[in-house]
Structure formats: C-alpha cells, structure tokens
Structure 1
Amino acid sequence: MTGNNFDEILCLIGGFGKYQKILYVWICLPQIFLAFHMLVSVFTGAVPPHLCRSTWPPEDNPASSNFSHLTTPDGPHELSCTVPLNHSSVLTLGDGHPAGSCQGGWEYSTNTFESTIVTEWDLVCDSASLNNMGSSIYMFGLLIGALMFGSLSDKYGRRNIILINLAIQAVFGVGAAFAPNFYVYIALRFVVGTTVSGVIMNAFVLGTEWTGPKQRMLAGIITDYFFGFGYILLAGVAYLIRDWRKLQLAISIPGFLFIFYIWVLPKSARWLMANDRNEEAWELIHKAAQMNGKPITKDLQMCRVYKTGEKTEVKRKYSCIDLVRTPRMRKQSLIVFYLWFVNVLVYYGLSLNVSDFGMNIYLTQMIFGLVEMPARTITLFTLNRSRKISQLAFLAVGGTACLLTIFIPSDMSVIKTVLAMIGKFGITASLSIIYVYSAELFPTVIRQNGIGIGSMCARIGGVLAPMMYLLKSISPLAPMVVCGLCPLLGSGLTLLLPETANKPLPDTIEHTEGADLSEVDGSVKSVDTSLKNTNAGGTGMD
C-alpha cells in the first residue's frame, strides 16, 4: 500500500481524532526529558571561577576568598590559568611551574554550583578542551543514533525502537550519574545521545504516520513545543539541584516511568501494511476508527479488500548520488546541506554556551527556552507566504544579532544577552523552516535521500558546535564571529534557491532540471503531503 492510499484510510477514520490526540500525548511526554539530556551539560559541564591552590606556603593560600578577581565575562576564566611566578601572590605555584600547570590542585567557587564534572575532574586550563570534547562526543552519539536507529526502525518498527531506546536511555542516564571518571561518563553520555536521536526520530515518524495530511504540519510543531518546555523546565530543575550527579539522576530516573508505554504505545499501521502484516494493521485501524467515533463504513471495508492486495510497482531505484549528478540538483542540494549544517551549528553553539553572555546562567537558560515558543509559532504564519524569504530573513536576523554581540563591551551583559536571544530566535525559526523547505526542494524520487543527508549534515554541525568554543584560544570573540558569519553566508546562498510556497512539487529530477518549479506541468501533485510533513517537525533535534 502506498502512502497516499493510507492517507485515504486516515480520512475515513479521522485524521486527527481522539486516537491521534492520545497518541501525541505519549509522543510528546518524552520530548521534555530529551531536552533535559540534550542541554544538561550547560549545567553539569559549567566552569565555575577557580584558583590554583598554592603549594608554597600552603597555610598562606587564601584562594577561597579571591574568586571575585577571576570573573572574566569573555570566557571560562582565562585569568585563573595565567599563574604568575611571584611567590607573594595568592596564585603562586610554589615549585615555579609555568602558567596553567597547577600542581597543588584547583580551588572552585561554590557560589553557583555545588559541583560539576569540571570541578570533580579538574577540566580547566590545560584540560579544558576535554570538556568541549565530551559535548562533541555526545553530539556524535546523536549522529550514530540517527543512522543506526533509522534503519532498525524500518526493519523492526517504530514502536519497538522507541521502547528500546527509552529503556537504554534511562539505564545509561542513571549510570552516568555514578561514573567513576570522566571517560566512563563520556562513554555513557555517548550511548544516551544515540537513544535521544532514536526516540526523537521514531516518535515523530510514528505520530505523523498516524496523522492525516492536513494536520501533520501542526502536529509536528506540537512536539517542538514540548521540547521547548523541557528547555525552560531544565533551568528550574538545575537551579534547585546544584550537584551534577544529583541533577543527572533527577533527569534520568523518571525515564523508568515510561515502562507503561509497553501497554499504551501503538504500532504504526502504515508500517505494518508496508511489511505485509495487514491483519495487525487493520485491527489497529478499526480500533482507531471506533475511538474517533467513525463507523466502519463500506468505503473502509472496500479499502481493506482492495488495498491490502495491492502490488507495488517496480520503479527505478535512486541513490544519494542522484542528489549531485545533475547541475541544478547539485546546486540546490549543496546549499540545502549547508543550511542544515549551519542551523544546527549555531543553534547548539548558542544553547550550550549560555554562561558566556555574562548574566545569571539559570535566567539566561530560561530566556533562551522561552524564545523558542514564539520563534516556532511565527513560522506557521510566514511559511505560507514564502519559504525562501522566510529562510533568508530568519538566517539574516540570527546571524546579524550574533555578530553584533562582538561589539558590545563585556560589562553590558544585558544588551549582550538580548542580542544573543534575538540570534537564538532567528536560528530557531530558520531551523524549523529548513525541514519544510528541504522536503519541497527535493524531487519525490530522492526526497528521503535528501532529507537523510541533510540530517547527517545537521548532526555534523552538532558535533562541531561545542568544539567551536575552542576558538577562544585564538580570540574570545571568535565563536560569536562564526555564529554570525555562517548564517549570513547561508542567507546569501538562499537567494540561489527557488521559491516553493504554493507551487507544485517536482516528482522527478527531470522536473527540477528542465524547468523552474513554477513551470512544472500541472499534473505534478500540488502537495506531496505525506513526505513533506513527515519531516516538518523540529526539535532539534535532529
């Protein structure tokens, strides 16, 4: 059975009735905890003000009372790594070791955090890059999870993969709270990252496969709102729990409650039919029809008789090579892949480094979470007017705001945070748009390949986002320069893409190569809703 034929069935049983609404409750609840796992490193990996304990003379070390001298808004307390060789200084290294090679251990301020992985394992100065590396390894887990669980879900079903990932996530998330050293902690977080990707991807697919064509775009945005709610809620949870191990436990233990999903989470009837498990599929379809208050009509019975016996027409197989084989397709594909990359690079570059803007870290986290709500909502209104201008404008807004932060003095932290917030607004909106825009730019025959490669580019951006802050060794302003210039370049490249709003979608590569989208023959379907809206959600996730 083809996707469009299943859409006919959904129209008969209710495209977004009680059955689907309950399903979306089950899909959206984990999104809150996925946001926790995605962004908890903002707090667990935070770098408090720190001083080297003087080894000579130890009784004269008043380090704990001198943290106020080390607060540097432009980075992770660079001054604390510049250890003078004057024995009379509180920062003196008694054995004459050079700056950054503290032999007596580090003393950390406990004004904001009781403990973080940085304070426990001394991930500062010479070891500071390990902290960024840990975040990148977690993001690499997201990439591996997308590749691994995407194919496994096609083979074993969306529901089974979601259940397995939720279980692994809870176990390894709790395990991370008891990690004996940094390397075990990173290994456990890597596994959590793979499961986050698996749950985000398959929960969204499961929901869209049960939802009617007209409601999929809005239904996809609903999951984004719950992710944003988790973003905001994390600030409150972290404010109440200042110890990193307890915080890690607090966000992980509730995952065991999802064991009841074994009984309430349905399978995908669309997937069952695609895998010739028609009887199971029709049992679920009848259950959904009854719950939605739709009687089993003759039309539905006829669908069962004729549709289940359909044979799929053998067609030419397309590969990722077709994305770059022809000139216009190659140009569009490379631009879209860059847009995926830059959106996620800047999104997580800002999200994971809220401590760099000089304001209270908890307040900044909450503000950055709140700004996601209007950013995702506004795209519902701008997308219908123009995909191209919407993408271009939000990238330009995000990039310009980030770039302007480099001209703001360090003592004007409020203005700096406001500009960063505007940058986050633009990038969040742009990230939501790229899902829809990509699905409309790629022809039907290679649309899934295009979205898949785009998602991989996005994950590469996620891997590089934490590492971007290592550029501070070159200049404290370098990360925000990157966050500003990369989106502006993307905004310029978007000018080279065609407009797709209210235009027929191309079915073949020939349609894309032979004419502008506005000139495609009218027989091309105006909306390939099933494929387009299956990818119209956000989360970040990806």
Structure 2
Amino acid sequence: MEADLKLQSLGKCGCYHTVLFLGLGLIYLRGAWHVFAPVYLAADPGHSCSVPNTTNNVADNNFTVDSCTVTYYQDINNSVIRSCEDGWQYGSQFQSTIVTDWNLVCDEDYKIELSTTIYMIGTGCGALGLTYFSDKYGRKKLLIVCLLIQGFVGVGVAFLNGFILFTIMRFFIGLLNMGIGLTVFVMITESYQASVRTIPSVGIQIAWATGIMLLALFGYLIRNWRHLQLLISLPNFIIVIYVLFLPESLSWLVANRKYREASTVLNWAQQLNQHTSQIEERNSWNGNESCIQEQDVEPVDNYITGEIKNSIHDLFCMKNTRFYTLVIIYLFIVNSLIYMGISFSMPVLHGDIFLNLFLSGLVEIPAHIICMFVITRIGRKIPLMIFLFLCAMSTIAAALCPSSTESGISLQWLKTTLFMISKFAITGSYATVYLYSAELFPTVIRNLAMGIASFFENLGAVGAPFIIYAAKKMPIIPVIAFSSATIIGGFLVMTLPETNRQPLPQTISDTKSFTTHKSDINRNSHLITEL
C-alpha cells in the first residue's frame, strides 16, 4: 500500500491531478469513436432495386421493384420474382458508406453485423493480449505504441476497396482500442488516493459519453465514410505527442520497484501541486532513503511477500482472488451484453440516426454524475446492486408496456422512457464495475486482471447482436436474457467485499485486507474526509 501513502502526500486534487485527468480523458474520449463508427460507416441510407434495363418506365406495370427483388408480371395471374440483377439505388442521406460502395444489402446485409462481431473479437484479444505488456513494461509505453499503430491502421482503412480487408483492419483497430482504453482507466485509478478515487475513476466515463456525442456530430457533418474514418484516426498522432509528456503511473513504478523514476514523478507532481513540505517523505521508500540512489531493485518471484509475478496463474493462486476474478468476469459479460445491445439499438430506432446516437451518449452523463456521488458516499456494493436490479425491472416493464391504450392513445413515450431508464441503469452499473474491479485486484496484476475480465466483456458484446437479431422473431428473448442476467449479477455482488476508501492493494497478499480488516475500515471510515 506504499504507493497510496505517496499519493496522499500530493493532496486530493491539484494541478498534477487535473493535467493527468484531462490528458487521459482525451485519449479515452477518442475510443468511443471507433466502437460506434459503424453506425455511420455502415449506415444504410435506404435502398431499392435499380430499374431494369428493359425499360425506363416503371409505370407500365410490367414489373415492380422492391428493396431486394423485382417482380415481373406476365399477366394478371402469373409473375416472376427475381433478385436485383441491375444493382441498387440508394437514398441521399449519405454521400457514401461501405453499404453503398460494396452493396452490403439484401443477402449481403449480414456482413455489417459480421464486421462488428469481428471488431468485438479484436477488442477481446486486445484485452487479453496487450494488458500483460502494460503490467510488465509500463502504462505509458503501451499507450504510445498502441496509439501510433492504431493511427496508421485507421488511416489505411479509409483507402480500402474491399469488405474482407476492411473487416481485418477493423479487427486490429479493436484490438488496439481495448489496450488503450484499459490502460487509460487503470492509470486514472492508480493516480488518486483511496479517499477520492471514485470521482475521477467514474468521471472519466463522461469523456466516453462525450466521445459518443461528438461522433454523432461528426457523422452529421461528414457523410462520406472514408473522410469520417480519417477524422477519427488522425487525432491519434496528435495525442501521442502530449502522451510523451505525461508521467508514468506512480503505483506501477512503486510496485515494480523503480524507485528512482518514482521519485522523479513524485517530485514533479509535488512541484505542480505546490506541496513542498513533503520533500522528506517523498524521498523515503520502505524506510530506506538511500534506495533511490541505487539502481532500481529487481523483483523476486514471490507473490506472497509482495514481489512481482505477472501471470494468469496469480489470479487463481489464492481463494479470494480466484472468487473475485470469476464474479468480475460474469459482471463484465452481463454489463457489456446489455450496454451494447441497448446502444446499438438506439440509433436505428424510429427517428433521426444522428439525434438518437447523440441522446444515447447524453443519457450516460447524468448516470455517471449520479454514480460518482452515490458510490462515494454509500460504497460500491449497494449502488451496483441497485443499478442491476433497476435495469432488470425497467427492461421487464418496457416489454410489458403496450404501444397504445385501448382507446388508441399512444404509449410509445412511456416505452421509450423505460428504455432510457434501462440505458441509464446499465451505464451506472458499467461505470461501477470498472472501478470496483480495478480496486479489487492488486497493482502487480491489475492490468492483466482487467484485461482478462475485458476479454470476457467483449464476448458479451459479441453476443449482443445475436440476441437483437433473434428478437425480430421472438421479442421475449432480450427481456429474458437481460433481466435474468442482471438479477443474478445483483445477487453475486452481495458476496464481494466493499473497497470504498481503502488503499489500492499492491500485491496479491494485500487483497486479504478486504476481509481481515473490514471491520476496522468500517469503524474508521467516517474519519476520512470526502471531496
């Protein structure tokens, strides 16, 4: 817990924290662009079969055109239905999308969902494969590498001329996007002392919501998918420049015994926050001031004594971490499944595709604001349970609510309201789960643990399109899946320890304090001053 003691010497919120939060917030914001870009990159502006070459006059009643077929009438009782042999005509809402460029309609429309599924698989691979390098080599190095590669790949996508290459490149964009997003979130979590960690850790999610709203604006202003892809990719190169000036995570440096670098970061942070009275304390590490004058200490493989051993085995080597990991994995799957299911449904609801996505992001902001203050004062467990149960109840209520009364009065506004409540609740739950999981796992394997949980999180995201597709034939399926999953999740949360106002564990053995010192923490929690 040494890193948290050093963070306390920086104060609760100063110039250092503000610079770090804004810088990392901008990185987190751009991540939403790549997730929801298919809403516009793969938008269908409306299509119908082109008029057959045999005539330019559709009014002669020899044939009629539909979205996917042409019906030829030989006489009043005989007709022949054929596919759109002469191609399609598209609406004018967009200048171009991958749908209009590559004719991804009718029998080919499944490719749009397939591309999104492949992207989600990529994010899962990124969560599992990249986070290890963040724990081993540092948060900042991984950020720089991933941002640069994603920038080049994203720009390349704008010049592709085939669906297969587009899907492959989107896979790698997703892989890199998850590595960036998880690393940013972990850095935010590790940069604040325990008593004030909640607000920045949840507040960073407002940047994500802002990113969704900005994408709606970009999509409205830029109707060419290639130009839009360039717009969301080029900022990576600008972001890399200021990432070079951001400090490495102090918690990571301390956990990996890089005391010399940690002292430099702490010194810089102290100067920014003008806490000059802490000079003596900041140069003392483990009671040995001379250690920062020596070479950085190499870790020894012994997780019990607090040394570093970054492997998946570490998550399951002790009973408590094993149980935490399994529960967190389930919660990530549930939250991702429902969040993505609702988010991807909203833009295609009745209404404007740009306004709907904007509102989808806007509704998340009050959810995060309320979440920040509730979980700061009450804790993590109770609000998370309430969010999950509220999502279940509003989902069931929306399904049971009729579209209109017997007298013909429309109740669509009520169904939409209940739908928005579900989005509000799952957003609050999602934000809480991210913070909760980051606090449960120790620094030496935090990014690895978050990566594994996020791998399963993306399995939930992959499943969302299939449930939505199944709902076209059986509307009750999403209700059963979403409500039952959140109810089970709510009861599982009851078995987890409370982490509010506790220092971040640095080693796996530190997680024992959640249970062995729980009564002491509860007894003394009122002594900790909140923001």
Check conservation: 1:178, 1:245, Cα contact below 8 A: yes
Answering whether residue 343 of structure 2 is matched by residue 351 of structure 1, we say yes
Contact 2:194 2:503 in 1 (8 A): no
Distance in 2, matches of 1:499 and 1:161, equals 31
- Which residue identity lines up with residue 120 of structure 1 in the other structure? D
**2:433 equivalent in structure 1:** 434
Calculate percent identity across the aligned residue pairs.
Answer: 32
| Greater mean alpha carbon deviation, residues 457-466 or residues 411-420 | 411-420
Q: Does 1:368 align with 2:360?
A: yes
Q: From the superposition, tell whether residues 212 and 469 of structure 1 become closer, same or farther in structure 2 (CA, over 3 Å).
A: same
| Range that drifts further, 11-20 or 224-233 | 11-20
- AA at the equivalent of 1:468: I
> How far does residue 496 in structure 1 lie from its aligned partner after superposition?
5.8
Q: How do residues 471-486 of structure 1 correspond to structure 2 at under 5 angstroms?
A: 471-472=470-471, 474-475=473-474, 477=475, 480-481=478-479, 484-486=482-484
Q: Identify the residue that residue 419 of structure 1 maps to in structure 2.
A: 418
**Count of matched residue positions in the alignment of Structure 1 and Structure 2:** 497
How much does 1:134 deviate? 0.4
Mark the CA change 1:318 to 1:291 in structure 2 (over 3 Å): closer, same or farther.
closer
Letter in 1 for 2:495: L
CA distance in 1 between partners of 2:244 and 2:258 (Å): 20
Could you say if the C-alpha distance between residues 359 and 276 of structure 1 is closer, same or farther in structure 2, counting changes exceeding 3 Å?
same
CA RMSD of aligned residues (A): 4.0
Q: Which residue of 1 aligns with 2:20?
A: 23
Give me the TM-score of the superposition, normalised by structure 1: 0.79
Question: Please, which of 268, 271, 281 is the counterpart of residue 299 of structure 1?
Answer: 281
**Counterparts of 2:50 and 2:420 in 1: how far apart (Å)?**
37
Trace 1:68-79 onto structure 2 (pairs within 5 A). none
Q: Using the TM superposition, give the Cα deviation of residue 49 of structure 1 relative to its aligned residue in structure 2, in angstroms.
A: 2.3
Deviation per residue, 1:217-249 (Å, 9 max, x gap): 212123211111111121122111122222212
In the alignment, structure 1 segments of 5+ residues that lack a partner are 63-68, 71-78, 528-542
| Structure-2 separation of matches of 1:318 and 1:292 | 33
Cα deviation code 1:489-523 (max 9, x no counterpart): 4356447635737798999999999xxx8xx5448
- Does the 8 Å contact 1:402/1:483 carry over to 2? no
Of the three residues 273, 286, 307, the one matched with 2:267 is 286
Give SS of 1:103's match. coil
Match of 1:170 among 129, 137, 151: 151
Normalised TM-score (structure 2): 0.80
Q: 1:256 to 1:451 in 2, by over 3 A?
A: closer
Moved more, 53-62 or 279-288: 53-62
CA offset digits 1:143-201 (Å, max 9, x no partner): 11122221112232211111111212222222111111111111221121122112112
Q: Once the 2 structures are TM-superposed, how far is the Cα of residue 325 of structure 1 from its aligned partner?
A: 9.1
CA distance, structure 2, for counterparts of residue 167 and residue 447 of structure 1: 24
Using the alignment, how far apart are the partners of 2:511 and 2:138 within structure 1? 33
Looking at structure 1, the residues matched to 317 and 138 of structure 2 have their Cα atoms a distance apart, in angstroms, of: 32
Superposition deviation, residue 369 in structure 1: 0.8
Structure 2 distance, partners of 1:163, 1:506, is 25
**AA matched with 1:80:** S
Cα shift readout 1:460-501 (whole Å, capped 9, x = no counterpart): 1122223433325634x3664366434444356447635737
For 1:500, the equivalent position in structure 2 comes to: 498
Q: 2:88 aligns with which of 106, 113, 118?
A: 106
Structure 1 letter corresponding to 2:217: G
Whichever residue aligns with residue 228 of structure 1, its letter is A
Letter in 1 for 2:87: G
The answer on whether the counterparts of 2:195 and 2:502 sit within 8 Å (CA) in structure 1 is: no
Tell me which residue corresponds to 1:188: 169
What's the CA shift string for 1:34-67, capped at 9, x where partnerless?
11111111122222322122436342348xxxxx
- Structure 2 counterpart of 1:105, one-letter code: G
Distance 1:332 1:282 in 2: 33
Q: Which stretch shifts more, 358-367 or 296-305?
A: 296-305
Indicate if the aligned counterparts of 1:443 and 1:505 stay in contact, CA closer than 8 A: no
What are the Cα deviations for residues 60-104 of structure 1, in whole angstroms up to 9, with x where unaligned? 348xxxxxx99xxxxxxxx834x4744389xxxx9743xxx4322
- 1:367-516 matched pairs, under 5 angstroms: 367-383=359-375, 384-385=377-378, 387-406=380-399, 407-409=401-403, 414-438=413-437, 451-472=450-471, 474-475=473-474, 477=475, 480-481=478-479, 484-490=482-488, 493-494=491-492, 497=495, 500=498
- Please name the residue that 2:210 is paired with: 229
Matches of 2:253 and 2:321, distance apart in 1: 33
